[in-house]
Amino acid sequence: MYTDANGEFFWFAVIAGAVIGAVAQAVKPGANFGTIVGGGLIGAVAGMVGAGVGSVVAGGGFFSSGMSASMGFWGGAASGSAGGFAGGFVGSTGTSWMNGANFGQGLGSGLKGGVIGGVSGGLINGISSEIRYQNRIGTFRKGLSQIGLEEMEAVPMTDEYLQKAQNAWFENVPDNLLGQSVENVPQKYIDNMNTAGAGAATVPTSSGGILTGNASIYYNPNGQAFSSAKQLFFAMSHEMVHVSQMGIFTGVSIPNYNSLMKSGLGEILEFHAYSYEASLGSTNYGGFNASSAGQLMKVFPDFFKSLNYNNFSWTQNVSFKIP
């Protein structure tokens, strides 16, 4: 059900399963320490398997769904059903065996629990996914009407339309955003974007060799950001994450910042920006996959958490999805 860039929801599911399993045994007549601990262990395994299987079906990894895009009813139902069946089967089977059932009785109980879990998980996740999906379509189409474009129509390459797009899709913007432009881009930034094959770039400001925390967004006149409203939205959302990230480095010297970038910080910045795109429906993951979160977290664990797009309040008010 969730975009899980840090892999933290997975472990929440494990802990929640353990608590539920332990409580379920504790309230039974004749409960003792052993049965409570056993119930907790079975619940933890059921939570782990359910969350992992649901994540894989949703397009993520077993331990983290960080790059999983939003889904409509059927995609959400498939993920919820798979996770619900797996968790229900493991939990019910394990509990039956712990309470003295034989092998066949345990499997029968597991199948019953799996069916119940699959049906309820499919309905709950399918309905909630469809609600999110429809909200995103509605927001996107409302924005299109405001800027006067069709869904896949090319966007005029002007600062006027950039401002219209920002007003249409982003109710809030990063406080440290100085501005956006495609008309007044210094040539050196165009050259850099052309060399990197980038459609846009976030450029931080400095004073006396110290980063101020503010930044501007420049769009490449030769890039693909204006090829459609869809492309512009994703490019804008990506770069705005970078703008907010620049606020984290307020007061850092340019040499220290550059040193961090060379040591792997740049990959973390990009991972969270592409993760935000994915949460809005983009299928461009920038070469990252579900295992990238764990790998990058080891490089700079504190920065990995502080640079997560979920930490920036404006991201919670933006939603978009192309059917």
Determine how many CB atoms are found less than 10 A away from the CB of residue 78. 18
Do 266 and 177 lie in one domain? The reply is yes
Of 229, 241, 225, 223, give the one whose Cα is nearest residue 146.
229
Of 165, 138, 239, give the one whose Cα is nearest residue 198.
239
Whether 2 maps to a domain, the answer reads no
Q: What is the mean pLDDT of residues 240-253?
A: 97
More confident residue, 67 or 139: 139
Q: What is the mean pLDDT of residues 277-287?
A: 79
Q: What is the pLDDT of residue 125?
A: 75
Contact 279, 68 (CB under 8 A): no
What's the domain range around 206? 148-317
Q: Is the pLDDT of residue 99 over 90?
A: no
Do 126 and 160 lie in one domain? The reply is no
Q: Strand, coil or helix: what is 320?
A: coil
Whether 85 maps to a domain, the answer reads yes
Determine how many CB atoms are found less than 10 A away from the CB of residue 6. 18
State the amino acid at position 200 in one-letter form. Answer: A
Do 40 and 98 lie in one domain? The reply is yes
**Counting every residue, how long is the chain?**
323
Do 172 and 136 lie in one domain? The reply is no
Domains: count for the chain:
2
Do 163 and 216 lie in one domain? The reply is yes
Please return the burial class of 317, using the count of CB atoms within 10 Å of its CB with bins 0-12, 13-18 and 19+.
exposed
Do 41 and 72 lie in one domain? The reply is yes
Q: What is the pLDDT of residue 174?
A: 94
Q: What is the mean pLDDT of residues 145-155?
A: 77
Determine how many CB atoms are found less than 10 A away from the CB of residue 228. 18
Q: Last residue of a domain, which of 91, 110, 144?
A: 144
Q: 1 pLDDT band (50/70/90 cuts)?
A: very low
Q: Is the pLDDT of residue 56 over 80?
A: no
Whether 3 maps to a domain, the answer reads no
Structure tokens at 203: 């450029």
State the amino acid at position 16 in one-letter form. Answer: A
Whether 243 maps to a domain, the answer reads yes
